[in-house]
Amino acid sequence: MVLGIWPHVRTETNVNRIMYTVIATLIPAALAGIYLFGWSAIQVILVSILAALITEAGMQKALKQKITIIDGSAVLTALLLAMTLPPGSPWWMTVLGSFFSIAIGKQIYGGLGYNPFNPALVGRVALLIGFPLQMTTWENIHPFLSGADVTTGATPLGVVQVARLSHKPVPDADTHQFWNMFIGNTMGSLGETSDLLLLLGGVYLLYKHYITWHIPVSMIGTVAAFSGIFWLIDPAHYANPLFHVLSGGLMLGAIFMATDMVTCPNTPKGQLVFGAGCGLLTVIIRMWGGYPEGVSFAILLMNSLTPMIDRYIQPHLYGAK
DSSP string, 69-103: GGGSHHHHHHHHHHHTS-TT--HHHHHHHHHIIII
H-type alpha helices, the chain: 15-37, 39-62, 73-83, 91-99, 119-130, 132-135, 156-165, 175-183, 195-207, 214-233, 241-246, 250-252, 268-288, 295-312
Q: Is-contact 273 61, C-beta < 8 A?
A: no
Q: Which residues pair with 152 in a beta bridge?
A: 139
Mean pLDDT, all residues of the chain? 90
Residue 84's pLDDT is: 95
Q: What is the pLDDT of residue 1?
A: 47
DSSP 138: E
pLDDT value of position 279: 97
Counting residues of the chain whose pLDDT is more than 90, the rounded percentage is 64
Sign of CA dihedral 236, 237, 242, 248: positive
The pLDDT value recorded for residue 129 is 93
**pLDDT block averages, 10 residues each, the chain of length 321:** 57 84 95 91 96 96 90 95 93 97 94 92 95 87 73 82 85 82 86 90 95 96 96 92 93 95 93 97 93 93 96 76 59
Q: Check residue 267 and give its pLDDT.
A: 93
pLDDT value at position 8?
A: 61
188 and 195 in contact (C-beta within 8 Å)? Answer: no
For residue range 284-308, what is the model confidence (pLDDT) as tens digits? 999 998 888 899 999 999 999 999 9
Is 8 exposed, middle or buried (CB count within 10 Å of its CB: 0-12, 13-18, 19+)?
A: exposed
Could you give the 3-state DSSP secondary structure of residue 172?
Answer: coil
Q: Which pTM was predicted?
A: 0.91
Tens digits of per-residue pLDDT, 97-130? 999 999 999 999 988 889 999 999 999 999 999 9
What does the pLDDT read at residue 155?
Answer: 85
Q: For residue 321, what pLDDT is reported? A: 59
Q: What percent of the chain has pLDDT over 70?
A: 93
CB atoms < 10 A from the CB of 140, how many? Answer: 15
